[in-house]
Amino acid sequence: MINITEINQAVATLRAGGLVAFPTETVYGLGADAKNVEAVRQVFLAKRRPADHPLIVHIESSKELKDWAEHIPPAALILAEAFWPGPLTMVFAKQAHVLDEVTAGQPTVALRVPNHPVALSLLKAFGGGLVAPSANQFTHISPTTAEAVHEELAGAVDMILDGGACQVGVESTIVDMSGDLPVILRPGMISSADIACVLDMTVLTAQQVNSKMRVPGQHLVHYAPTTKTRMMSQEALLAYIENTESTFAVMAYSNALLALDDPRVHAMPVNAKAYAHDLYHTLRALDHLDVQEIVLEAVPLASEWDAIRDRLTKASGE
Ligand code: TXA
Ligand code: MG
């Protein structure tokens, strides 16, 4: 899977201030040298992302935390040990050298060690931090394949490393470690219960904290298909399918809906991990169908579904 020639070419591109999209276990990232202000500005331009949305700095291992974080609380080291490399991003007080363009002028920096062989060999060969927002246009669905990156950013990126389909499928959990208690800023497949269990500490959600910090996905519509998208309970969906005249596609997982054997109903896995893996790929495919509406079946309330529920809510603007 790792092509050394390609990695070397990617490193040369990054050192020259270019943009390289690369796979991670969550979604594909749009990579640039986190210490090169011009390269970081190019990332915002390529994504048409507003400058007030800070970027995550990707590092090769927790040893590099000390190069970016001003203060590393013991709990963060425990989380790093438990979950890195993996789909967890931690927010710390930043060191003075960290570019304002990266942090959107905030006093904190977000750091993550991704768990993908291509990302890790790229970081190792590059020998420094890489900013990498999801490799999509601002407000679009995050890409989980190299083809999806091409769709989003062809012409705006110098190179795309193909590492196949992303294993996790939704963006990392973001936890703010800069205060007294950890605060979940964005749910991901590492749940707040997973974090609380490892730390033996209370973990707060952003809603519980009267935080002045920038909360990711604060825009009402985020991660959204271009087709009008709604979310409904199984019951409401059964009635909708029966009575609706317009063209539509349904994303469902429950037996009652799948049993209809209706070609407009697209089957999703009943298991949260497998559902997350398929989520963006399926949404993107439905968005290409040219139907008038996409309807998402609401998912269970259990905490393992938190990240998925969050993304479906944002996709449907509900
Ligand atoms: O899984 C992921 O995290 C992917 C892969 C490529 O690593 N990256 C990703 O990046 O989702 P992006 O830029 O699409 O989302 C990063 C989120 C943004 O919503 C931003 O607001 C938040 O991280 N963020 C970055 N720095 C922050 C900081 N200092 N404080 C609070 N939130 C921060
Ligand atoms: Mg994103």
Note the pLDDT tens digit of each residue in 263-287: 999 999 999 999 999 999 999 999 9
**Which listed ligand is nearest to 139 at the C-alpha?**
2
**Average pLDDT of 104-124?**
98
Instruction: Return the amino acid letter for 71.
Output: H
pLDDT band of residue 2 (cuts 50, 70, 90) is confident
* Top mutation candidate among 83, 99, 131, 171 for ligand 1, by most atoms within 8 Å of CB: 171
**Rounded to an integer, what distance in angstroms lies between the CA atom of residue 313 and that of residue 105?**
29
91 lines ligand 1 (CB under 6 A): yes
In angstroms, what is the span from residue 255 Cα to ligand 2's centroid?
Answer: 32
Q: What is the pLDDT of residues 203-247, one digit of tens each?
A: 998 888 865 555 554 554 467 899 999 999 999 999 999 999 999
- Are 111 and 69 in contact, with CB atoms under 8 Å apart? yes
* Top mutation candidate among 52, 59, 89 for ligand 1, by most atoms within 8 Å of CB: 89
Which of 86, 85, 104 shows the shortest CA–CA distance to 94? 104
**Rounded to an integer, what distance in angstroms lies between the CA atom of residue 207 and that of residue 215?**
10
Q: What is the pLDDT of residues 132-173, one digit of tens each?
A: 999 999 999 999 999 999 999 999 999 999 999 999 999 999
**Rounded to an integer, what distance in angstroms lies between the CA atom of residue 311 and that of residue 313?**
5
108 lines ligand 1 (CB under 6 A): yes
pLDDT (0 to 100) of residue 214: 52
59 lines ligand 1 (CB under 6 A): no
**Average pLDDT of 111-131?**
98
